Amino acid sequence: MNFKLPIYLDNNATTPVDPRVLESMLPYFSEKFGNPSSKHTFGYVTNAAVDLAREQIANLINANKNEIYFTSGATESINLIHFGIADKLSSIGNHIISSYVEHSASYESLLQLQKKGFDITFLKCDSKGFIHPEQIIEAIRPETILVSIIAANNEIGTINNISEIGKVCRANNILFHSDATQAFGKIKIDVNEMNIDFLSFSSHKIYGPKGIGGLFIRKGLEQKITPLIFGGGQEKGIRAGTLNVPGIVGFGKAAEICHCDFEKDFNHTKSLRDRLYKNLLSALDNVILNGDKENRLPGNLNLLIKGIKADSLISSIRNIAFSSGATCSSETGKPSRILKAIGLSDEDAKCCIRIGLGRFNTIEEIDYASEKFIEAITNLKLKRNLQSTI
Ligand code: PLP
């Protein structure tokens, strides 16, 4: 066996730090420790490193480096846009359009705004998880101040037509935010071509460190946001607090690698995903793909295994790490909001697994995992059939 156990197949939850990223970060914990706001050599060194990271991140989405802001993660970026816009534009309108298939970071933030009196339209998706541009057109009102739609779904991998949604928003003069935490670095995003005004993303999904995130704010729109955190005026006053330099340097390097290796990573994760899916389909008859077959994240496989509880499967395959639905919803124990939104019953939603393939997975790992999945599912089916005949 030329791989180590356990095998990590949960790359939608988080990714391991790429060794090249770790190496780039190390000097910033020791000799290059200056505060980037300091006006002396130590500060100039880290300030330059932060500047480079901004550029590396901007390059990945065709933004300008001055349009990139650092936060603690995508959750904070999303909250900053929702609350910041709501506060600043409340005299113009109180209506926000979003969807039922957002990640909790977005959905829960909007529920808080709803409690504060904002009117939120949560659009329903179709059976593959898509939100259609026509739904946005129908939902727009004179008092709409923001549209916030996820770029690619974290559970079922469905990629929305962000470009068309952006076009609709621009044509109607409405600000457009997209949560691109799963899409960033995995699929092509061009904030200009796609008419995106604000984009949220995170380092730990692209082989960078945890606790560092980013936000794209289109030039000129900064004054439409009230900050969430006040203090020393860092990040042009949009997000105060001393910058997490090692995290930012690592994030920048991770983005640069994603940019350089884009095709390679895309083809690699997609081919592993397709191989695993094919292996399972050829041996089992109770496997159904959730989400869309074509417009889905290259490394995401979400499967309904009819009649087999995800929790039983997870506990019977101990040396492979994968997830039941989304990590966040498995914490609450409730059937996933996303799986329910695409029309699954509570019973079926509990029988879904999410497998996330990543840069460091290998064909050997996938073939081993396929065997283990087939063996465990077959055994659980036999056990279930036996129990039903007793
Ligand atoms: N949005 C999506 C689509 C996600 O998948 C996640 C994390 O799983 C988040 C937001 C939250 O990101 P972070 O962990 O950086 O706060």
Atom index in ligand 1 nearest the CA of residue 77 equals: 16
Residue 234 Cα distances to 58, 212, 227, angstroms = 19, 15, 11
Mutating to test ligand 1, I would choose from 70, 82, 102, 205 the residue with most ligand atoms within 8 A of its C-beta, which is 205
What are the chain's domains?
A: 7-16+262-389 (3.90.1150.10), 19-260 (3.40.640.10)
- As for ligand 1, residues whose beta carbon falls within 6 Å of it are 73-75, 103, 105, 150, 154, 179, 181-182, 202, 213
Q: Which of 77, 182, 338 to mutate to test the pocket of ligand 1 (most atoms within 8 A of CB)?
A: 182
Whole-angstrom distance, CA of residue 304 vs CA of residue 296: 16
Q: What confidence tens digit (pLDDT) does each residue in 273-293 have?
A: 999 999 999 999 999 999 999
Contacts of 263 (CB under 8 A, 6+ apart): none
User: Ligand 1 centre and the CA of 160: distance in Å?
Assistant: 16
**Residue 14 vs residues 7, 99, 186, 188: alpha-carbon distances, Å:** 14, 23, 13, 20
Question: Cα–Cα distance between 213 and 247 in angstroms, integer?
Answer: 9
What is the whole-number distance in angstroms between the Cα of residue 199 and the centre of ligand 1? Answer: 12
> Following DSSP, what letter does each residue of 166-179 receive, concatenated?
HHHHHHTT-EEEEE
Question: Which stretches within the chain are classed as H helix?
Answer: 19-25, 41-61, 74-89, 104-115, 133-139, 162-171, 245-260, 262-283, 310-316, 327-332, 337-341, 346-349, 363-389
CB count within 10 Å of CB 18 equals 20
Distance 11 CA to ligand 1 centre (A): 12
Enumerate residues 6+ apart whose C-beta is below 8 A from 351.
304, 305, 306, 307, 308, 309, 310
Residue 179 contacts residue 102 (beta carbons within 8 Å): yes
Catalytic residues: 328
**What is the C-alpha to C-alpha distance for residues 222 and 126, in angstroms, rounded to an integer?**
34
Q: What separation in Å is there between the alpha carbon of 44 and the centre of ligand 1?
A: 32
Residue that is written with structure tokens 């966040």 in the block: 328
In this structure, what DSSP letter does residue 236 have? G
Substitution candidate for ligand 1 out of 12, 14, 15, 75 with most atoms within 8 A of CB: 75
Q: What is the pLDDT along the chain (390 residues), one digit of tens a residue?
A: 889 999 999 999 999 999 999 999 999 999 999 999 999 999 999 999 999 999 999 999 999 999 999 999 999 999 999 999 999 999 999 999 999 999 999 999 999 999 999 999 999 999 999 999 999 999 999 999 999 999 999 999 999 999 999 999 999 999 999 999 999 999 999 999 999 999 999 999 999 999 999 999 999 999 999 999 999 999 999 999 999 999 999 999 999 999 999 999 999 999 999 999 999 999 999 999 999 999 999 999 999 999 999 999 999 999 999 998 744 444 566 789 999 999 999 999 999 999 999 999 999 999 999 999 999 999 999 998 888 776
The pTM (predicted TM-score) of the whole model is 0.97
List residues bridging with 119 in a β-sheet: 95
Q: From the CA of 3, how far away is ligand 1's center (Å)?
A: 29
Distance spanning both ends of the chain, measured CA to CA: 40
